[in-house]
Structure 1
């Protein structure tokens, strides 16, 4: 069966892959939520851990992408969107965990839908700022970024 799936130019495809990788890294599957016999960590502990985790990913990516001083302002915009997206996903996860024991099947589906919508919104927010950064990169940096996102964007999903 032939589909009419549009293809993206290489730079745009990398930006979409980057957005996917960065956004999915901030999303935890429902399987990782607290079960009825578990009690979730206190909110302040979860918030600190979430910020440490996203900051760790941001710092690692900054280093691996070999961001130059001239690109730093563009990188900071990418990093801020990553933090904002992580905060949004964290808030949705916290709400889901706090309501887990009282959710019925429809509540569960709606909660998952909210997370999926937030994930998609996060990618839409990240793509243009990453595109601007990507466009500023040297050919060598772009090849490096392409390789990073080609190989890394699947890893967070494998951890769940």
Structure 2
């Protein structure tokens, strides 16, 4: 594999992972709950979703999260805002990936850092968008449903170090 193709592959993988992290992170436990066996060559469901930029994976994530959060019919209108934010974030990231895809082979180190900054900014903007929509939904949840939501979101990210 040539240096430029390694660079393109790494950059595209990074872009896909950053984009997927907008919604994927909060689905770690939810994905595991709804898919007992990995389907993509032994990859866990989260890894499969993280490495795919296909639009249907966004819809799958939305569906999985809705199920994990136990959204009620009364919460549908607030949930729709969360789903819309997830779709907008995925579309925004996909657009950025498409814009950068052809240019990545000729990037130098500074260009690479600037591209990473752009993906990070898109990720941050998307997270703000999702957080605002989710807060409206979360605030409407009863205590037991909030506790469930906390568990779904808590399952993402680094685990506290084990004390020995």
TM-score normalised over the length of structure 1: 0.65
Structure 1 residue ranges, 4+ long, deviating more than 6 angstroms after superposition: none
Hey, what's the Cα distance between the residues in 2 that align with 1:55 and 1:69? 19
Would the aligned equivalents of 1:50 and 1:86 in 2 still touch at CA under 8 Å? Answer: no
Structure 1 stretches lacking a partner, 5+ long: 1-20, 27-47, 156-160
Q: Which residue of 2 aligns with 1:132?
A: 136
Matched positions, count: 113
Alignment deviations for residues 12-45 of structure 1 (CA, whole Å, 9 cap, x no partner)? xxxxxxxxx961639xxxxxxxxxxxxxxxxxxx
> Relative to structure 2, which stretch is displaced further, 140-149 or 87-96?
87-96
2:153 and 2:125 map into 1 onto residues whose CA distance is 19
Q: CA deviation at 1:102?
A: 1.4
Cα RMSD of the aligned pairs, angstroms, is 2.1
3-state SS of 2:54 partner: helix
Structure 2 contact 81–133 (Cα < 8 Å) conserved: yes
Cα offset for 1:70?
Answer: 0.5
Q: Could you tell which deviates more after superposition, 89-98 or 121-130? A: 89-98
Q: 1:40-64 deviations in whole A, cap 9, x for unaligned?
A: xxxxxxxx95211111000000011
Q: Which has the higher contact order (CA 8 A, sep 6+)?
A: 1
